[in-house]
Amino acid sequence: MTNLTPVRTAFYISDSTAITAETLGHSLLAQFEDVPFRQIRIPFVDSPEKAREAAQRINQAAREDGLRPLVFTTQVDPAVNGILRESDAFCMSLFEVFIAPLEAELGVKSTHTIGRSHSQTDSNTYQHRLEAINFALGHDDGVTMSGLDEASVILVGVSRCGKTPTSLYLAMQFGVKAANYPLIPEDFERGRLPEGLERYRDRLFGLTIEPVRLHQIRSERRPNSRYAALENCRQEVADAERLMRRENIRWLDSTSKSIEEISTTIMQEIDIHRHPF
């Protein structure tokens, strides 16, 4: 006999990466915060044979957990879906639920093509996304002013306030070209934006951060430095916020926000339309 809360297994299964199934399942399970789950993604289940292998793993988890596993699937193939349904799982099939009503509403049959979501169906938009990633890497931390005309947004803020991960996420998820430029003590002394940035004022977006959090982040990088000192962090953040306020730059506090939330807010504020995938 054990005092441990029994853990249920949640499987994310698809004929392709299963990333959509995982996103979906993760979002639903987040609504049951007191229930512990073990999460397993099984990608590339694109044949009855692989479906039977997946069903065996599901049944094994059912025996080991003593609880019926959950299956979230974006499986298109009815044969594969049928095999998963016969396993000892509680099966939530995204396509089975939504495709028939959509077909009725649109008045056309779906193509029932597997693995479309993350396949390179349109190599132009895919290319665009890779270019945006390269753009973010090539315009990180103010390394160059060259090519800034192409940027949809230029993030500014003190060192380590979240500019780089946000730029990369905007590129990776939305195909948006984002540059980022640090605000440093020299800018605060001059009381002006870094030279060359003023002409892009309508594309500037500021990030700020709680000084205590900034101190923690910088301390991991350079412990006991002046750069990481709490007093210096307080000063830099206050100076940066003063500069952004005076220059009328839109900004937000990144401290308690996820990269997704920061990126979404920026796109809304700057009114960037994502490159359509």
Ligand-binding annotation for 87, yes or no, is no
Ligand-binding annotation for 125, yes or no, is no
Q: Which of 48, 56, 98, 212 binds a second copy (CB under 8 A)?
A: 98
Q: Which of residues 238-257 bind a second copy (CB under 8 A)?
A: 256-257
Cβ-contact 139, 180 below 8 angstroms: yes
- Asked whether position 95 contacts a second copy by CB under 8 A, the answer is yes
Edge-first strand listing for the sheet containing 37-42: 37-42, 8-13, 70-73, 90-93
- For residue 145, how many C-alpha atoms fall within 13 Å in the half-sphere facing its CB? 7
Q: Which of residues 122-151 bind a second copy (CB under 8 A)?
A: 126, 129-130, 133, 137
| Binding flags for a second copy, 216-235, as an x/- string (CB under 8 A) | --------------------
Q: Which of residues 151-190 bind a second copy (CB under 8 A)?
A: 164-165, 168-169, 172-173
Q: Which of residues 197-216 bind a second copy (CB under 8 A)?
A: none
- Asked whether position 66 contacts a second copy by CB under 8 A, the answer is no
What the block records as the tokens of 251 is 């900004």
- For residue 272, how many C-alpha atoms fall within 13 Å in the half-sphere facing its CB? 24
- Asked whether position 264 contacts a second copy by CB under 8 A, the answer is yes
Task: Report the nearest approach of a second copy to the CB of residue 175 (Å).
Answer: 12
Cβ-contact 160, 218 below 8 angstroms: yes
Edge-first strand listing for the sheet containing 251-253: 178-182, 153-157, 204-208, 251-253
Ligand-binding annotation for 162, yes or no, is yes
- Asked whether position 59 contacts a second copy by CB under 8 A, the answer is no
Q: Which of residues 11-40 bind a second copy (CB under 8 A)?
A: 16-20, 23-24, 26-28, 30-35, 39
Ligand-binding annotation for 107, yes or no, is no
What DSSP designation does 3 have? -
Q: What span, in angstroms and rounded, lies between the C-alpha atoms of 256 and 267?
A: 18
Q: Which of 7, 99, 230, 270 binds a second copy (CB under 8 A)?
A: 99
Given the complex with a second copy, which of 5 and 186 has the nearer CB atom?
5
Cβ-contact 172, 196 below 8 angstroms: no
Given the complex with a second copy, which of 224 and 268 has the nearer CB atom?
268
The residues pairing with 37 across neighbouring beta strands, listed in sequence order, are 8
253 backbone dihedrals φ, ψ, rounded to 5°: -90, 120
Helices (H) and strands (E) in the chain, counts: 10, 8
Ligand-binding annotation for 192, yes or no, is no
Q: Which of 7, 62, 94, 145 binds a second copy (CB under 8 A)?
A: 94
Given the complex with a second copy, which of 40 and 145 has the nearer CB atom?
40
Annotated binding site for ADP: 157-164
